[in-house]
A and B are shown apart, each in its own frame.
Chain A
Amino acid sequence: MSLFYIVALPFFGALLPGLMNSAGRAATAGVTFTVTLAAFVGLLTNLPSVLAGEVVMARVDWMPLLGLNFSLMLDGLGFFFALLILGIGLLIIAYGRNYLSRDDNMGQFFTYLLLFQGAMVGIVLSDNILLLLVFWELTSLSSFLLIGYWKHLPEGRQGARMALTVTGMGGLAMIGGMLILGQIAGSYDLSVILQNRELIQADPLYVAALILILLGCFTKSAQFPFHFWLPHAMAAPTPVSAYLHSATMVKAGIFLMARMWPVLSGTPEWFVIVTTAGLITMVLGAVIALFKHDLKALLAFSTVSHLGLITMLLGTGTAFGAMAAMFHILNHATFKAALFMSAGIIDHEAHTRDIRRLGGLRKLMPITFIIASLAALSMAGIPLLNGFLSKEMMLEEANHTVLFNSPWLVPVLATVGSLFSAAYCFRLIGHVFFGPVRDDYPAKPHDPAAGLWLPPAILVVLVVVIGVAPFLAEPFIKLVTASVLGDAAEVPKSYFKIWHGLVPALYMSIVAVVGGLIMLLIFKPSLRIWDAMPRPEAKVIFEAIVESVAKLARAIILPLHNGAFSRYAAIAAITMVAVGYHAWSTGTIAAPTREMQPATPVAVGGWLMLVAATAGMVMMHRNRLLSLILIGIVGLMVSIGFVFFSAPDLAMTQFTVEVVTIILLLLALNFLPNRTPVESTVLRRVRDTSVAIFGGLATFALSYHYMLRDAVTAPISEFHLANSYKGGGGTNVVNVILVDFRGFDTYGEIIVLGIAALLIYALTETLLGGPVRAHLLNRKPDQKRAGNKHPMMMVVLTRVIMPVVLLVGFYIFLRGHNEPGGGFIAGLIVSIGVVMQYMASGFGWASARLRYPYHGVIGAGVLIAGLTGIGSWFVGKPFLTSDFTYVRIPPFEEFELATAALFDLGVFLAVVGAVMLSLESFSRLARQSGGPDSEHALDIDPSRDDPKEPAEKEAV
């Protein structure tokens, strides 16, 4: 079967259990088993090629430019691990089907499990290290889901996050390491990297890559000082612990060290880091394991210890060490998975995993007793079981290893580790199965159905078979070792034997076993010493670190983003000025190319008024009405400025805009208190003032600089000036620019205006739908209202003036193309006319006479403008292409008709609609607060002369 299918099967198969969940537990487990079995068989079909020493390859390009490709390879090492993953996977699925209770969501469980399985197979079959990273992180993620499977348990959630954080950190480090490695070797393909040992080890970045990759391996394989997450991962259901956290996932780090062995090992850095970490982990894990009372915790630390052992073997950098490591991986996977499953059985039947509450199970659960004891004895290194063989090889290797110039260090520590290892194995057997039968088990223990004990039993058969006849495993392990070593070393000649003669390793082994027995005898006193010893609790430290990181994050982020807008604006302004200053100070500057213009008295006068109004605004801004007037002055001065610089169009626009804005603002002011309250401290005002002054100075400098200099070449406006009549049919260049040269900008801007009006309307609507409505209805004006709401003079005047205003608007609109004017200004003028009606005669009166809804007017305006633009498509011209012609309707003079006028009509309508819709929205608010408006104009408000309310009277 193609390697792709082997990897893909579990991933696609992962959909099935979730889907089959409602079809029942048997069906769910059945499909999971079938999927795994299919992948397993698929793997076996590749066995002949692997045995023949070939490397099976499969490759599809994924991101070729990056060098990340979906390339897989299967050699001895990959086959070995894939076999473990899928083979033990089958047993775990069978076991898990019987282990999970009816309350557990089995579909979810098996989906996660298959995802994990696929990721794990992916790791061991990857030929591309970036692809390997993908699968690597996927195992972390699926492990996160599986540890947190029992969502209601806090241990599960915490354990899951801890595992994800630690392995995730390692994974991120490894990304760095792998990228460096790939850059050195010039390829991310393992097959290429493995050929480049000299190149890589000579590179200055080798140590960085090594450390980063080892961080990934150590976190994944729970090596000291990252070992602490593994015991907490035991919150997962036992099948997960057996599968991920002893047999497969935690071996991913070891797998990678083995995979990279030919290129990374053999240097002093590798030797010191890997061997030391492994050695410490081995001893530490074994010691802690002895004193754990929870069966799964004991097994977890023993796993840590054995992973340390394998790591140490890989660290020595010799071929024999690598071979011993491979052999021990096989042996550990068999006996440890069996032990975990046994622990699960005990938990399942006795409802406790606490060793102190167990004992005497030998008689109650004989089958479990045999399975667990054989596995434990193998772990302790008792002859005729497979654990003995690889442990002997480990001790043999330790004997030849000189670390930190001491020939004693490694052998002694290895023996100590083995001694404690034997001790906890004996304790497991002794304290759980032997001793008197108790009568206070939480549940009456008995052997489970075959579904639960058969999977571990199969593993124990392997334990015994390999232990008795090691020569059966020897060719396979040597094949695996050969693919680990690659071209870097020869496979050792030595044979797998139970009896090697009276070699030092045997003595060390005897010491370990005997010592272990003694430890068991003196367990109680040593436990007392252990309990009395101060020990750093990894979980506490870890959570303290995470919590302090989170605290730090909150301390940085939350005060920084506290919603104080004036500070945000200050930071932005300072940034702008500072960056601008930097650009200024690093550039070169030449003399101005233009003369200063003479300061005429008119200009100076205008300037002074502008300054006075602005300064007054700053001083008196708390009085809202006054500040509005001052704003009006500023606006008018700007209009006059436009006149001064011969831009009558702009002046007219500015002027009418000013009128409309002030009216709208006045309406809004109606709902606000007269004065702005003081809300900021003096300090903050000083800060804001300084920022404002800096900003102002910078703006001044900028304008001053540019106004004294010409552009590098002629600006485009010269073309506009020259061609406005010839090309646009108008002598008013500003208007031709607006509706023709840059009509598209205008199109955008009228849309902005229209949106603004819609927005004001929508906002009013929302406000009136909410609590604001009640607020408005209950609102009492804080000052006396004018008794004469609609003064007669004003009403009459505005009604008389209305036709005139419309006429002026029409005139301005028509003449726009050649003289100052145009749709925009005309729209504003007409709006002012209508606004006056509203003001004089009241909202009710005016809106009752409203024929076209303003929404529609806006919509029509924007549509007309858009359709005018599209019109030019029918003559094969681009959007908004204008044309003009001269027509003569008798009695009139000849006049010009331009398509741009139609566009201008759209502008006109949009402007009128937008202004009026905004006004109407305000008026809706006002009407809510002012009570129903009278239909009749010229009405008198009688409430003004009502006596004051009693409460107020007393107050007075």
Chain B
Amino acid sequence: MIHWIVAPVILPALVAPFIVLAARYHIGIQRVLSLAGVVALVIIAASLAWQASDGTITLYQMGDWAAPFGIVLVGDQLSTMMVLLTSVLALFVLLYAIGSGWDDRGRHFHALFQFQLMGIMGAFLTGDLFNLFVFFEVLLIASYGLMIHAGGNARLKAGVQYVLFNLIGSTLFLFALGSIYAETGTLNMADLANRVTLIGPEETVGIRIASVLLLMVFAIKAALVPLHFWLPSSYAEAPAPVAALFAIMTKVGAYAIIRVYTMIFHPELEATAGLHDLWLLPAALISLAIGMTGVLAAKKLDRVVAFSVIGSMGMVMISISLFTPESISAALYYIVHSTLAGATLFLISDLVRTGRANLDLTVQPVISGNALTAGMFFVGAIAMAGLPPLSGFLGKLLVLDAAFDNDKMAWIWAIVLGSSLISILGFARAGSIVFWKAHSVSHENGAEVPNAPSPLAYAAVGGLIALLVAHTVFAGQVHGYTFKMAAGLFAPEAYISTVVETPGKLSDAKKGDH
């Protein structure tokens, strides 16, 4: 079906208004609709990924207008993989939200959730930079709504910071788009890739600034130090299922960097030489170090997880910043891992929260379901800290292996391995206080012992862990696939020609125009 590729965007965009229109007072109906929508998304995404797996590039011209004049969606291996990852993550997060009752603690959770998915899916699929901006807006505003879901002072305060920082990012995005359009007269990525080659060596400042501005926009989304400040408090204060879904949002930034800086401003492009190949790696290394140090420094469990997300994004960015097929394929493998691990840990910290007064790392009585939750935390922490046998370790090996030939190899290895140790310390400390030390105090007499989380909530976390295990067991296949994908990214001719050369409405007129 030719419209398959647009479905991941349209479907949630229809489910959400329908919920608002017809079911806004019925949480039961909302749950059914939302869940059905996400299940359908998983199926659609899986078939899209299947379709793209042999290297097919699917082009969809919005309004039948050919690129670069209209907007196109492009489904290639990378974008469909990200779409699949998003939909699968969304399924488990949604199950958790329903199981834990989070969706019923404020209004419009499901509508905002669907809109959020629409934004993320659109950002992965679009082949147009301005359209990417629009989807960034959609996912930003929806995520803000989700973030402050259920209210509370701390959450609202964090939410304001979140949305303000990201509005700075949006403004910068507009500057970047303006610069790119002024310089090249186009916004379509494939077309842009062609046009930047026309820029001669006599004047490069324009395109250089445009490229770094755009890079910083994506770096904000990817929470790269020093543009990461929005992340710790907003992820920590957001409702757990929302924070878990946000695990994919940082990856939107990483995805955009991979896409734009392998296809358009690729490492061989003379005009933009000496920019991101200079800046990105040190920033990524510092991100990793800051993130993992934060794991040790944080005073609350949810902050521990939030900092670990920064750290793992640092890891992703280190790998991306090397810009070789090996390193990009390692980054892609790690992106999947980091998304699943981050989401798992956020959900687990919520399992802990249900049994405790708060998530402070102080000794509090044993939570109900301690053994199971502790076991899950142990697995999640192993994954995040990059210890064997889970995918975090394999991802780390891939990154280290990819960095072997780099002239900054010693730096990369030292920081990657050193920060692993710090994060092990941090996670061991947090887990030991929350799950073990709790045995040394007991509930006060008469104090109400909180209920254990619902089985559905556990099942959702269990499902994510199962995905992590699958990502480990089938690491060879996944990595083989990401390797193919990375090779394709460094040879984007097929992508570009598919986008630019497919005719649309009035295409003959276009030729006359050129």
Point out residues on A near B: beta carbons under 8 Å.
61-66, 68, 108, 130, 133-138, 141, 144-145, 148, 151-152, 154, 157, 160-161, 164-165, 168-169, 172-173, 175-176, 179, 183, 546, 549-550, 553-554, 556-558, 560-561, 563, 565, 568-569, 571-573, 575-576, 579-580, 582-584, 586-590, 699, 702, 705-707, 709, 711-720, 722-723, 726-727, 740-745, 747-749, 751-752, 754-756, 758-759, 761-763, 765-767, 769-770, 855-856, 858-863, 866-867, 869-870, 872-873, 877-882
Contacts and interface: CB of A to CB of B under 8 A. Distances in A.
B99 interface: no
Contact of B298 (A154, A557, A711, A856): A557
Contacts of A856: 20-21
13 contacts: A138-B388, A160-B428, A161-B429, A165-B425, A168-B424, A583-B205, A586-B275, A588-B202, A590-B202, A706-B183, A745-B131, A752-B141, A872-B64
Given A572-B227, A766-B150, A866-B14, A584 B137 contact: no
Contact of A62 (B198, B208, B475): B475
A718 B10 contact: no
Nearest to A569: B168
B178 interface: yes
A60 to B, nearest CB: 9
Contacts of A165: 421, 424-425, 428
A575 B151 contact: no
Nearest to A560: B290
A556 B293 contact: yes
Residue among A61, A68, A714, A756 with max Cβ neighbours from chain B (10 Å): A68
B209 A66 contact: no
Interface string B16-60: 111111101000000000000000000000000000000000001
Contacts, number: 387
Nearest to B157: A563
B400 A863 contact: no
A755 B420 CA distance: 40
Contacts of A151: 435-437, 439
Those 3 A-B pairs whose CB atoms lie nearest each other, nearest first: A715-B185, A859-B21, A711-B185
B68 interface: yes
A749 B137 contact: yes
Interface stretch (B104-112, B242-250, B336-344): B104-112
Contact of B22 (A160, A859, A867): A859
A712 B185 contact: yes
Contact of B296 (A553, A590, A716): A553
A569 B164 CA distance: 9
Interface in B263-315: 271, 274-275, 279, 290, 293-294, 296-299, 307
A168 B6 CA distance: 47
B181 interface: yes
B195 A712 contact: yes
Nearest to A903: B63
Interface string B217-232: 0001000001101101
B490 interface: no
Nearest to B437: A157
Contacts of A130: 397
Given A561-B229, A762-B108, A168 B151 contact: no
A866 B7 CA distance: 11
B106 A713 contact: no
A172 B420 contact: yes
A579 B216 contact: yes
B138 A714 contact: no
Contacts of A565: 160-161, 164-165
A561 B18 CA distance: 40
B489 interface: no
Contacts of A136: 388
B408 interface: no
B198 A712 contact: yes
Contacts of B195: 712-713
A135 B388 contact: yes
B436 A148 contact: yes
A739 to B, nearest CB: 9
A66 B293 contact: no
B20 A758 contact: yes
A724 to B, nearest CB: 11
A709 B71 contact: no
B382 interface: yes
Nearest to B115: A755
Contacts of B102: none
B398 interface: yes
A63 B475 contact: yes
Interface stretch (B444-452, B457-465, B504-512): B504-512
A744 B213 contact: no
Contact of A571 (B2, B226, B439): B226
Contact of B138 (A144, A152, A556, A751): A751
A476 B17 CA distance: 76
Interface stretch (B350-358, B476-484, B491-499): B476-484
A625 B202 CA distance: 51
A787 B227 CA distance: 51
B193 to A, nearest CB: 13
A154 to B, nearest CB: 8
Given A137-B393, A582-B212, 12 more contacts: A172-B420, A549-B422, A557-B294, A583-B209, A584-B209, A589-B205, A706-B206, A711-B181, A715-B184, A759-B141, A767-B151, A861-B17
B126 to A, nearest CB: 8
Nearest to B475: A63
Contacts of A172: 417-418, 420-421
Given A63-B394, A179-B401, A711-B185, A880 B63 contact: yes
B76 to A, nearest CB: 18
A749 B229 CA distance: 27
A574 B198 CA distance: 31
Interface string B114-155: 010010001000000011001101100110110011111000
B87 interface: no
Nearest to A149: B436
A702 B22 contact: no
Contact of A741 (B22, B63, B435): B63
Contacts of A707: 182
B107 A761 contact: yes
A855 B20 contact: yes
A173 B417 contact: yes
B413 A176 contact: yes
A33 B292 CA distance: 41
Given A168-B421, A584-B205, A711 B184 contact: yes
A568 B201 CA distance: 36
Nearest to B326: A65
B70 to A, nearest CB: 6
A485 B208 CA distance: 59
B137 A752 contact: yes
Given A711-B183, A877-B64, A718 B513 contact: yes
Given A561-B294, A579-B216, A588-B203, A148 B21 contact: no
B108 A758 contact: yes
Nearest to B186: A716
A711 B386 CA distance: 47
A702 B176 CA distance: 10
Given A576-B213, A706-B183, A711-B185, A765 B106 contact: yes
B230 A568 contact: yes
A144 B435 CA distance: 14
Interface in B358-398: 371, 378, 382, 387-389, 393-394, 396-398
Contacts of A148: 432, 436
Nearest to B296: A553
Q: From B20, B144, B145, B393, name the one whose CB has the most chain A CB atoms within 10 angstroms.
A: B20
A134 B198 contact: no
Contact of A587 (B208, B307, B394, B413): B208
